[in-house]
Amino acid sequence: MSFDPAPEVKANWVLEKMGIFDTPALHLDEIAASQKIKIGRRSLPNDMDFSGALLFRGDKRAILLNTAIPNIGRQNFTLAHELGHYFLRHKPDFQQSKEMGFRCSPKDMKDTHKPQEIAANCFATELLMPASQFRPMMSGAPLDYTLINHLARYFVVSKHACGSRILEFTRDACIIIRTRSFVITGKNESLAARRRLLPLTHVPIGSAAYSAIQNKENQIAFSEANPVLWLARVNPTIQLYECTRGSWENGVATTILKW
């Protein structure tokens, strides 16, 4: 098996070969079937560290998905990720008895140090949200929750994946921060905002985000923010805006910063 250095090219090759020009997520089972890959969907609530697996046994192959993860967008990304391992001909990362393959956890799929996981994520992103479809649908719209929700619904992906994809293409300075309680669990930046965020571990006290999380109350619109609380290099001309919304029953929230 060899490593394919161009996962986006391979993803577009799959879409073209299958003649898929509408929402790719609706055709994932069809793509798997074209390669004689069986898909198993099981609810495994006692193993939430398991997202999915690509398994080989002799000439048989299958993908198993954990449907206890309730977000269909996340399930679609996991399926596309496992297809990425297959189409990119990655070397299996485990072998036992007569079975070998890949077993992916949420942590594995976020790992930025494993080349095969990075490549499978790039494949999945392009397969589910191909640039040729995604960029025109942004239509120059500013990054906000309306845009994220609209595109996430159309492409049947998670809001997290959709927001990250928007940041790849926007020319504006924008940052998306994910939190659990007040702890920052992840962030994505547009090119124009790269390396501008302070090395924060927690949401800064005094920010609108802190107030929204403390009160478990969504911000309806963007409010002007104090750039000193968020940014490492502050230009006096910068007008920073922030907006936070959460899934309060799960204790998680997303904050958008833009200027």
Quick: pLDDT tens for 70-81: 899 999 999 999
Q: Of 73, 74, 84, which Cα lies nearest the Cα of 121?
A: 84
Phi, psi of 206 (to 5 degrees): 100, -10
The per-residue b/e assignment along 185-211, b for 16 or more CB within 10 angstroms, e otherwise, is eeebbbeebeebbeeeeebbeebbbbe
Phi, psi of 193 (to 5 degrees): -105, 5
User: Which pLDDT score, from 0 to 100, does residue 48 have?
Assistant: 84
User: Which pLDDT score, from 0 to 100, does residue 1 have?
Assistant: 40
CA dihedral 100, 106, 108, 111 (to 10 degrees): 160
User: Which pLDDT score, from 0 to 100, does residue 4 have?
Assistant: 53
Please, where in the chain does CATH 1.10.10.2910 lie?
A: 7-129
User: Which pLDDT score, from 0 to 100, does residue 211 have?
Assistant: 98
Question: Tokens 């994220």 appear where?
Answer: 148
Helix (H, G, I), strand (E, B) or coil at 121: helix
CATH 3.20.20.70 is right for the domain spanning 7-129: no
Q: CA separation (Å) from 159 to 124, 153, 180, 250?
A: 15, 9, 16, 15
Is-contact 138 169, C-beta < 8 A?
A: yes
Burial classification of residue 132, based on how many CB atoms lie within 10 Å of its CB (0-12 exposed, 13-18 middle, 19 or more buried): exposed
Does the pLDDT of residue 206 top 80, yes or no? yes
**Class of the CATH domain delimited by 171-258:** alpha beta
Most confident of 44-58, 82-96, 99-113, 183-197: 183-197
Q: What band does 2 get if pLDDT is binned at 50, 70 and 90?
A: very low
In angstroms, the CA 240 to CA 250 distance is 28
Q: What is the pLDDT of residues 18-54, one digit of tens each?
A: 999 999 999 999 999 999 999 999 999 888 889 999 9
Please, where in the chain does CATH 3.30.450 lie?
A: 171-258
In angstroms, the CA 89 to CA 5 distance is 11
Give me the chain's average pLDDT, please: 93
